[in-house]
Chains A and B, each alone.
Chain A
Amino acid sequence: MMGIPPSPLSGKEGDPGSLRSPMRLSLGPLLYYWPRQRVLDYYAEVTGWPVDSVYLGETVCARRHELRLDDWLEIADQIAASGKEAILSSQTLIESEAELKNLRRQVEQGRFTVEANDMGAVSLLGKRARPFVAGPTLNVFNGETLGLFAGLGAKRWVMPPEMSGAALASMRLPAAMETEVFALGRLPLAYSARCFTARRFNLQKDACEFRCLDFPEGLALTTREGEAFLTLNGTQTQSARVYNLLLELPALRAAGVDILRLSPQTEHGGDLARLFRACVDGQMSSQAAWDEALALLPGEPCNGFWYARPGLDQVAPAQAVGASTL
């Protein structure tokens, strides 16, 4: 990996007209199912990455049990000890009483902030007056709904990935509400009760043999003419292309975004975090970082959602950005 400058955690604010603090970086929850040791090794490495917040926990499938809540709490302690904010992400689709039980335990642990990914989590957190992060699957598309969540204790919200930059710019944000945007990774597009990985092997979800463990970045789904289209990750369906908003950093900054979310992938996570860090700190141009990131990503780039276009489109930003214009 060449050309990435050293990465201080707090950089100089690039836009002299802004009073906001520099944009921060977060590492989203691990969406794939990896063997226990691989997860532990991964987060040991993450403690050295230039990210400010780390989201932890299983958000996709209740059957994934390589790590339990207590394991995640231990990782959270290590993340916190490295000077980063650790947040526990709740499961997106809750179906059973056992899953509700896990959710309650997560809410009641009381040591780490929780990212609420369904309304049951919002309700439990609100009743206990716990500050929380309103996750990307809560479908917050307007200020009125965000205001309600703020009243229940939301301090931060994660924009739904399908929301555009223009829509974000017209949001009325509650006072002191932080905005986080999914900025790098395969897009989590859909959730189902059905497991598509199990389906590929003619297995039922209840007897899935934990096949997800064999596919650390999911199963590639292509069209019948070989076009990479989607990624099957158990009950979750992701894009095949990799959402990358590096070129949109000035627009993100102008929209008042506080935190950029990077989604875990098997390789190069640290290098990608350093590229984002260098850009955010104004030490590298978006274009240079984008060019360098291209080879580190597990698929073609896309950014269409930001421009209110089909998500798989890659739109050239009107202003090709150099460091000087940051």
Chain B
Amino acid sequence: MASTRQPQRLELVCPAGNLQALKAAVDHGADCVYLGFRDETNARNFNGLNFDDQALAEGLRYAHDRGRKVLLALNTFPQADNWPRWTGAVDRAAKAGVDALILADPGLMAYATKTHPALRLHLSVQGSATSYEAINFYAEAFGVRRAVLPRVLSLAQVGDVIKNTEIEIEVFGFGGLCVMVEGRCSLSAYATGTSPNCQGACSPGSAVRWEQTTSGMETRLNGILIDRYADDERAGYPTLCKGRFEVEEQTYYAIEEPTSLNTLELLPQLLEAGVAAIKIEGRQRSQSYVASVTQVWREAIDLCTRDPAGFAVRPAWMAQLNKVSEGQSHTLGAYYRPWK
């Protein structure tokens, strides 16, 4: 399938865990804001986060008045004994007038297509669609208009996907980095009983313990030692794939360091490849994180769109982004093949 894509505007899609973050995203230049309801129907189901119907209505008004879009994530997998909770969420979102739903479950897509045929659907990263064959399936079966790629493909592979699909491709540009294929990770479920796929949370705060011991600060998840920090080290949140473990008598970050994805330097290539949208991770992060990251990416995207050949990452941007990065460091992740 040869793509006949027209050059298009690269959309900046920013996270909102609450109304203040939504306003910060809009004020600092997000084209789209994505958010979720206050329950397990979305993959950032954390205490004190997300939107009820009233906040959603206000957020929609704020964004739409300024010509921006609101995308609602319903990207966990509906449970057999609680199916109406997910279909109810689809109905509420449709009634509220969101610009698109971000879905992962085929059954829920079928429901949305049938019940709200005019509603635009995006395929969530939780759908684990990494090839154009998978992506085109969702397009053909449910009329999905955009797919968010899991953070597993190299830059060249992203380009191949785009050449072989008619629908828009959104990629992650910045933020917390899932090392595992999204939707294909039960590590948190195994360690804590809370699953990103089903309960919408990974390494939940309720399972976390910080303990100052004689051997240093220890961080635990449901009792499992995720890391231990010397006095001169800064202890980080015990996300279970970012701890230090022992393998074959070596203690190291066996899965991944505490680090954030940052693809700012790849912007010209992503634009050239025909990526339709860049997603910023971080619905669980603060309003100031959203403001800061959105501002940098808005500036960078505008400059890059005007003059891709002359685009250079400004040190000030990197400094600003590193300040809010996990472990104050960043990686290109799978986009850069040697990372794999």
Contact = CB atoms under 8 A, between A and B. Distances in A.
Q: Do A and B bind each other?
A: yes
A220 B247 contact: yes
B134 A120 contact: yes
B184 A310 contact: no
B134 A94 contact: yes
Contacts of B127: 119
A223 B193 CA distance: 19
A222 B246 contact: yes
Contact of A224 (B81, B245, B255, B256): B245
B81 A167 contact: yes
A162 interface: yes
Contacts of A311: 186, 189-191, 193
B338 A95 contact: no
Contact of A144 (B83, B141, B250): B83
Interface string B131-160: 101101110110000000001111001001
Contacts of B160: 96-97
Interface string A270-310: 00000000000000000000000000000000001100111
Most buried by B among A96, A205, A309: A96
Interface stretch (B10-18, B106-114, B308-316): B106-114
Given A190-B184, A192-B181, A312-B190, A119 B77 contact: no
Contact of B186 (A99, A142, A187): A187
Contact of A93 (B107, B140, B181, B228): B181
A224 B107 contact: no
Interface residues of B, number: 69
Contact of B190 (A99, A170, A187, A308): A187
B128 A170 contact: no
Interface in B167-186: 179-181, 183-186
A285 B33 CA distance: 57
B2 interface: no
Interface in B73-107: 77-81, 83, 104-107
Given A93-B181, A123-B134, A200-B254, 13 more contacts: A93-B184, A96-B157, A120-B133, A137-B128, A137-B184, A142-B79, A142-B105, A145-B77, A194-B334, A223-B224, A223-B225, A223-B245, A224-B245
Interface of A: 92-97, 99-100, 103, 118-120, 122-124, 126, 137, 139, 141-149, 160-163, 166-168, 170-172, 187, 189-196, 199-200, 204-206, 219-227, 229-230, 232, 237, 239, 304-305, 308-313
The 6 closest A-B pairs by CB, nearest first: A144-B107, A120-B133, A145-B107, A193-B152, A311-B190, A123-B137
12 contacts: A93-B181, A94-B134, A95-B157, A118-B134, A192-B180, A200-B248, A200-B250, A221-B247, A237-B180, A309-B193, A310-B222, A313-B193
